[in-house]
Structure 1
């Protein structure tokens, strides 16, 4: 995220229809520019620069100044909630939270170091491990109670269940070892 006097720039990772977003961007008067980088059929990065207003600057100034860094991804939930990770000195983080103005409510979900951010966790996995874990999550392999099996994930990805088992075990091991420092 970068905030200048005249524009706010945010890099987004999007799962969805890039063409639909591109058609819509031209209709939003606050958008002064954007750049889309397609990853595959279903996902892409988009860097959006919005014209800033006084209220927008007031809202984003606390989290875009000083030594704070917003760590992608920025997630937009259906209920309007925006979830993201910030990294920086404890006192600056606390000041930023205290300075956020109405109508924004701030809720801290977790506190941790840079290694706890989603971007860092995703970087631990190979592309194939990430693909297998994402399919497992989407199908319900990690639901409680479990609603999908390794065979279901294997069928979805057209590979052997033993291959799925190995990818899941290695991905889980990397994430857990990083989380617990071993």
Structure 2
């Protein structure tokens, strides 16, 4: 069984008002869609959020498409970031309808969570057979651009701790590990890593630093929760 991890980037006319709120304000640290279903042309969603709960609720109030919602606090972190759940019911629109159709078709499953990022994009993992996955991606409506991050055999543990490394960042860390760069005492060098990656030492060092930062950021966020 295959999976595709990708990011959806919306044109200005197709971005959801809540996603625009996340993009335009610093009130939210994290917004994740955990579960969703559809009954009688009404979409019901459960979100997990980190940020300013009241600001998020006020943004929901301003969206005519949203028919009802309930925001439930969970806790406040040491850095004063509020964590909460949001149960949202909304009427469908054309973009949501077409995206829902693309990623709920026969042969594919969208793995939880779907994460909405500060740049207005949505990051998700879709699981299924190769043909069905290709059909799902082809069905994404015009105005929504798909950036594919990774394709491979699905492993349910793959997303438990996922720092979202690029392929080059992952390869840099793997090469560093195999070279002995993380041994105590250190055995490998940036020059050796760069040579094996066929790139400059500056590029190899940059890939490693960015990968390490992503891993630490994700680890801190994961363990804080």
Q: Normalized against structure 2, the TM-score is what?
A: 0.48
CA–CA distance in 2 between the matches of 1:79 and 1:69? 25
Q: 1:30-69 maps to which residues of 2 (within 5 A)?
A: 30-41=65-76, 42-69=82-109
SS at match of 2:150: coil
2:49 match: 14
Q: 1:143-162 maps to which residues of 2 (within 5 A)?
A: 144=209
1:72 match: 112
Q: Cα deviations across residues 50-99 of structure 1 (Å, max 9, x unaligned)?
A: 21123431232111232433223222222211111122333222211011
Q: Cα deviations across residues 126-147 of structure 1 (Å, max 9, x unaligned)?
A: xxxxxxxxxxxxxxxxx82878
SS at match of 1:14: strand
> What's the Cα RMSD here?
3.0
CA–CA distance in 2 between the matches of 1:88 and 1:21? 33
More displaced 10-residue stretch of structure 1: 2-11 or 30-39: 2-11
- Higher helix content, 1 or 2: 1
Q: 1:125-144 maps to which residues of 2 (within 5 A)?
A: 144=209
SS at match of 1:78: coil
Contact kept? 1:13, 1:73, Cα under 8 Å:
no
More displaced 10-residue stretch of structure 1: 98-107 or 17-26: 17-26
What is the number of equivalent residue pairs in this alignment? 129
SS at match of 1:66: coil
Contact kept? 1:3, 1:60, Cα under 8 Å:
no
- Higher strand content, 1 or 2: 2
Q: Cα deviations across residues 23-57 of structure 1 (Å, max 9, x unaligned)?
A: 33222101122233322122122232221123431
Contact kept? 2:70, 2:88, Cα under 8 Å:
yes
Contact kept? 2:67, 2:91, Cα under 8 Å:
yes
Closer/same/farther in 2, CA of residues 90 and 8 from structure 1, 3 Å limit: farther
Closer/same/farther in 2, CA of residues 46 and 76 from structure 1, 3 Å limit: same
CA–CA distance in 2 between the matches of 1:88 and 1:40? 36
Closer/same/farther in 2, CA of residues 3 and 67 from structure 1, 3 Å limit: farther
Contact kept? 2:99, 2:141, Cα under 8 Å:
yes
SS at match of 1:59: helix
